[in-house]
Structure 1
Amino acid sequence: MIRIIKRGIELILDQERALYIPYYQLLVISDFHLGKSGHFRKEGLQIPRQVSETDITRLDHLVAMYNPKTLLVTGDMFHHHHNMDLEEFRIWRIENKTLEIILVKGNHDKLASIFYEQLAIKLFSIYYEIGDFCFVHEQKDAPDHGKYIFSGHIHPGILLKGPARQRLKLPCFVFDDNTALLPAFSLFTGLYLIQAKTGQEVFAITANRVTAVATF
């Protein structure tokens, strides 16, 4: 993990593609896409059930390690329609019933309202604010009020090049003075390779660490 400071508040960047803010006891993830593997199985593709089980286990590990008061998902917590993957999450939710869960709805969060109510998930349609931070799914939807903006949606990745023509694509966090782009939490997602710009800090995520790539 790596610790950085934004707007005077410490942020912890975790190798499980999550962000933890100790001051607010807030665990933040984006693009969980629960149910995506089940969706593809319904379409006849042989996607193993372990995909969603692994993501839920990773979340369980994060909750146990940081003991957050709140889990905040910045969009695409669920992937379209109900399937058995979501039932696995329902069991996990019962076991973690004291954890507050907040969802800023993304373009894939299309389940019926009753489902969110049953799981005690608080919904915010566009953005959620706490202190000097604002969380949205897509950065373009953030209000223009000078707060620090966290977003997801695009599943950012960085291409690293090594000797002997080695090329490695890794998920990443991207920060600048006023915005942060969060990696997709789910392992069952593709990557959109970003082109880092002047003034950005990029942190690549490997299997067991977060590492600073460069400050541009």
Structure 2
Amino acid sequence: MVHELLGQRLVLIPEKGIFWADKKYLILADLHLGKAGHFRKSGIPVSDLIHTRDIHLLDQLIARFAPEQVIFLGDLFHSDHNQGWEVFRRWMKSKAPLRFSLVLGNHDVLDARNYRIPNLQVSETLCIPPFHLSHIPEETELYNLAGHIHPAVKLYGKGRQSLRLPCFYFGERNGLLPAFGHFTGTAKINIKKDDAVYAIADKQVVRVN
């Protein structure tokens, strides 16, 4: 599914990412790697396999789209340093010369030394006209693309059936990406008449507004 925005072609991927075709950038939000280890520290047994699945999926997207850069819109890593970060760090370095950019999110709390990877750039925000990329939605002169919210839309069937699905949201001045990580929740968003909303269902992206 392609969403045309400000003269740019954004390929909306059912794996919950955007391929900015004109720039050849792969954009993802909210992987929350290391969250399983964070839960285990609290005595809740959660397997790291859920994050292995996310990295494998990211590998597949890189192979499919051959991006010139991968941009993470925050919350790449969920918590304090643990072994999960070292696994991902080695994976990222193995992808050189592919470049990665991380726009820091509220969960990206690692010491700055951990982000010193040759092919990783870290910043608070990233401006690539016509877009301003951030983790938390912001009001800016450029059109803002962000994560953080984990947007979802609720669809209703005949009778009382309803289904909440992750979605891509594009309002007048702000767009939201769904959370890429599988170990994340969703939040229902308010939709206006002129907003563009694309739900993800059965490995397809479908426009619902």
One-letter identity of the residue aligned with 2:201: T
Match of 1:195 in 2: 190
CA distance in 1, matches of 2:16, 2:201: 10
Q: Answer with 156-165 or 130-139: which moved more.
A: 156-165
Partner of 2:75: 76
SS of alignment partner, residue 203 of structure 1: strand
Instruction: State the secondary structure of the residue aligned to 1:28.
Output: strand
Identical positions, percent: 36
Q: Offset at 1:200? A: 0.5
**Residue of structure 2 equivalent to 1:212:** 207
Q: Distance in 2 between matches of 1:13 and 1:86?
A: 27
Q: Tell me if structure 2 keeps the 8 A contact 1:53–1:88.
A: no
Distance 2:52 2:178 in 1: 19
TM-score normalised over the length of structure 2 = 0.95
Deviations 1:106-164 (A, max 9, x none): 11111011111136421112x10112111011113x4x32x111011111111111124
Amino acid at match of 1:139: P
Stretches of structure 2 lacking an aligned partner (at least 5 in a row): none
2:178 aligns to what? 183
Q: CA deviation at 1:176?
A: 2.3
Counterpart code for 1:17: K
Gaps of 5+ in 1: none
2:136 aligns to what?
A: 138
Measured in 1, the distance between the counterparts of 2:50 and 2:93 equals 20
Q: Tell me if structure 1 keeps the 8 A contact 2:98–2:119.
A: no
Query: TM-score with structure 1 length normalisation?
Result: 0.92
Runs of 4+ in 1 over 6 A off after TM superposition: none
Q: 1: distance between equivalents of 2:39 and 2:99?
A: 30
CA distance in 2, matches of 1:188, 1:93: 20
Counterparts in 2 of 1:89-104, with a 5 A limit? 89-104=88-103
Structure 2 counterpart of 1:31, one-letter code: D
Select 1:128's aligned residue among 102, 114, 126: 126
Q: How does 1:20-169 map to 2 (within 5 A)?
A: 20-118=19-117, 120-125=119-124, 127-140=125-138, 142=139, 144-145=140-141, 147-169=142-164
Classify the secondary structure of the residue corresponding to 1:110: coil
Task: Please report how far the alpha carbon of residue 88 of structure 1 lies from its aligned counterpart in structure 2 after TM superposition.
Answer: 2.3
Asked if 1 retains the 8 angstrom alpha-carbon contact of 2:89 and 2:117, the reply is no
Q: Which has the higher mean CA deviation after the structures are superposed, 41-50 or 19-28?
A: 41-50
Please report the RMSD computed on the Cα atoms of aligned residues, expressed in angstroms. Answer: 1.4
Contact 1:31 1:185 in 2 (8 A): yes
Whole-angstrom distance in 2 between the partners of 1:174 and 1:119: 33
- In 2, Cα distance between the equivalents of 1:12 and 1:99? 20
How far apart are the structure 2 equivalents of 1:8 and 1:56?
31
Shift of 1:32: 1.1
Contact residue 90 and residue 119 of structure 1 kept, 8 A:
no
Length, aligned pairs only? 209
